[in-house]
Every structure is written in C-alpha cells, then in structure tokens.
Amino acid sequence: MDNFSHSQVVRKAVVATRGGVVAAQHRRAAEVGAAVLEAGGDAVDAAVATSFALGVVEPWMSGPAAGGCMVLWRAGEQRARVVDYGMRSPLALDPADYPLTGDGRVADLFPWPAVVDDRNVQGASAVAVPGVVAGTILVFIPVMGTFIVSDILGGRQVILVGNLIQRQFLDARDPTFGSAASLILMIMTLIVTYFYTRKFGFGEEIIVA
C-alpha cells in the first residue's frame, strides 16, 4: 500500500538502469526511451523518443496528430517547468457548427456536453491542430535536450540533418562543415519558430520556483 491508493497495489518490477527509468504504456516504446538514456541522453531526450515510438506501436492512441504536456524537474537548477503542448482548435472554427443536444454530458473519457451527431469527436469536423510535433521539435530538442534524437527517428535507413552533423564531428572529422551545418540548422529552427509563434502564438509554459 502506498500514497497512490488505499486498495490498489503496484506490483510491476522496475528494471534498474544506469541512466534512469522509462515508463510507457507499451513495452517497445519504453525500450526506445531506455536506449536513449543508455546512449547518454537525458530524461527529455528519452521522453521525445518514447513519444514518437508510441506513435508507431499505438497509432490509435498516440502519434504526431496528438498533444500532451510535460512536467520537467532540473535538479541542477532546482526548478520545475510545466510545458503544455496540447491540441488547439482550428483558427477558423465556428462554435455554431457544434450545436449541443441538451442531453447533458457524454459518458466518455472526456465528459464534455453532448454535441449533435458527435461532430466534435467523429469525422473531419473533430480534427484539431496537433501539438506533439511542435512541442517536441520547437521546445524539447533545441532547448531542453542534450542528445541527438535523429538516430532514433531516422534509424539506419534515413539520414536526417542531426545524423549528418553527428557524422561530421565523430566520423568524418570535419568540425568546420559540422559547425556550419549546425549553424544553418539553428537558423532554420529560429525561422520556423518565428513564423509558428506569429501564426499560433506562444505555447503555455509554467515555471515553478
């Protein structure tokens, strides 16, 4: 018995690792995150890799079209951050297109008021602007991560920009080209971030001292 529940007991075994522990709904996704920790990445890098892996092994629950949030604690800074990268309604959405039935709330995971024909949960009218890709690429990887996640996303079949930069420093021994490619990638990231924030605004970030 613990603080989680007076009746429920967690019996899952925790496998000890050098870099930490990764928990996920699917074992394969957790193994991907653990591999990132083993290779030298930190908790944010493992979370990014696990998130993309869940999109493959559980596409009906997760993936690039989803959203989420992250609670991050940096021991060195003694400060917590909460980053919200949830889905957003389309810019041109008209609430009048989603009339309520007046029958109360739906008996579902999200008990919101019932909408005529379930237009808010079924079909093309239920599509929202996803937040996972924006949250991981524009926030986690450039700002909070330390490991090159492109090895996980690209694998051995596809060469991503991160793979190219890594090989210039470690294999080709050409730091000049690697530095130039890093600078170009940084400029491109800043440009994408600028236009993204101009169109959609800044995401919500709460910093707890």
Sorted by sequence, the CB contacts under 8 Å of residue 179 that are 6+ apart come out as none
Whole-number pLDDT of residue 208: 46
The stretch 29-57 carries a mean pLDDT of 85
> Hey, is 109 helix, strand or coil?
coil
Task: Measure the CA–CA gap between 48 and 64, rounded to whole angstroms.
Answer: 11
pLDDT digits (tens, 9 = 90+) for 157-205: 555 566 677 677 777 777 788 788 778 877 877 787 777 667 665 554 4
| 147 in Cβ contact with 36 (< 8 Å) | yes
Residue with tokens 């018995």: 1
Both tokens of 105, joined, read: 């709330």
pLDDT digits (tens, 9 = 90+) for 85-107: 888 888 788 889 899 998 888 87
Q: List the beta strands (DSSP E) in 88-151.
A: 100-105, 113-115
What separation in angstroms does the CA of 1 have from each of 6, 9, 48?
6, 6, 32
Residue 201, phi-psi category: left (phi > 0), alpha (psi -120 to 50), beta (remainder): left
**Hey, where are the domains in the chain?**
27-88+128-208, 91-127
